[in-house]
């Protein structure tokens, strides 16, 4: 039932709602789970779009407010969502993320913590590094841009090379420098992917006036 529902999500979001283009398909891991997908955040469509690109069982955090509507809550739970209290140190949500990764799920996270209205990338919060370090999991960086070619119903997804867990390992979770180093590495890779998309369509990187 899950895989049937996931296939419907893929068809709707990658072929009907958006005409999606996936760059660097060779970087999509031939794995069913046990890793993290870290992506910039632009739209509520981001999780289902990513679910259409990667194959496997998914897990991702969603702000607790989205679970107030019982019908909607049931739908997103079927997609692998679980609630997180934003603005608070929600250790339960972090523990759930680590647990799901160890259960061989694909954990989707948006390191910036919130959606970007103008497409500019923000600094990563510590969560992505803490989860990756605690779960001892590799990270696949991804960048999504909507209508980069001027077509309203188009989106492009660029998939980066998997970052080995050794490159973002954290020996001491109380060491802020180690956490910042790991999270910065992930966002740097997402930034490179964003530039690749902009070069593909000869458009300016969000926040810059220079056309690539």
Binning pLDDT at 50, 70 and 90, where does residue 1 land? low
Instruction: Express each pLDDT in 44-80 by its tens digit.
Output: 899 889 989 998 888 988 777 778 877 777 777 777 7
CA-based torsion, 145, 42, 153, 210: positive or negative: negative
CATH number of 2-201, picked from 3.30.1360.120, 3.40.50.12780, 3.40.1130.10, 3.10.580.10 = 3.40.1130.10
Instruction: Express each pLDDT in 187-208 by its tens digit.
Output: 999 999 999 999 999 999 997 7
For residue 152, give the H/E element and its range.
Answer: none
When pLDDT is averaged across residues 22-35 and rounded to a whole number, the result is: 95
For the whole model, what pTM was predicted?
A: 0.90
Domain borders along the chain are 2-201
Nearest to 101, CA basis, from 136, 141, 63 = 136
């Amino acid at each position: 039932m899950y895989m049937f529902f996931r296939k419907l999500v893929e068809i709707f979001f990658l072929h009907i709602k958006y005409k999606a283009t996936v760059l660097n398909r060779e970087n999509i891991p031939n794995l069913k789970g046990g890793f993290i997908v870290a992506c910039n955040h632009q739209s509520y469509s981001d999780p289902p779009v990513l679910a259409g690109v990667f194959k496997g069982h998914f897990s991702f955090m969603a702000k607790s407010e989205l679970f107030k509507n019982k019908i909607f809550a049931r739908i997103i739970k079927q997609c692998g969502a679980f609630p997180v209290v934003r603005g608070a140190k929600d250790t339960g949500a972090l523990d759930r993320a680590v647990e799901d990764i160890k259960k061989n799920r694909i954990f989707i996270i948006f390191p910036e913590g919130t959606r970007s209205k103008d497409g500019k990338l923000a600094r990563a919060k510590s969560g992505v590094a803490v989860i990756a370090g605690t779960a001892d999991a590799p990270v696949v960086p991804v960048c999504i841009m909507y209508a980069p070619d001027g077509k309203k119903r188009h989106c492009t997804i660029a998939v980066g090379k998997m970052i080995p867990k050794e490159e973002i390992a954290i020996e001491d979770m109380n060491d802020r420098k180690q956490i910042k180093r790991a999270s910065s590495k992930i966002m740097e890779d997402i930034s490179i992917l964003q530039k690749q998309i902009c070069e593909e369509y000869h458009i300016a990187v969000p926040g810059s006036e220079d056309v690539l």
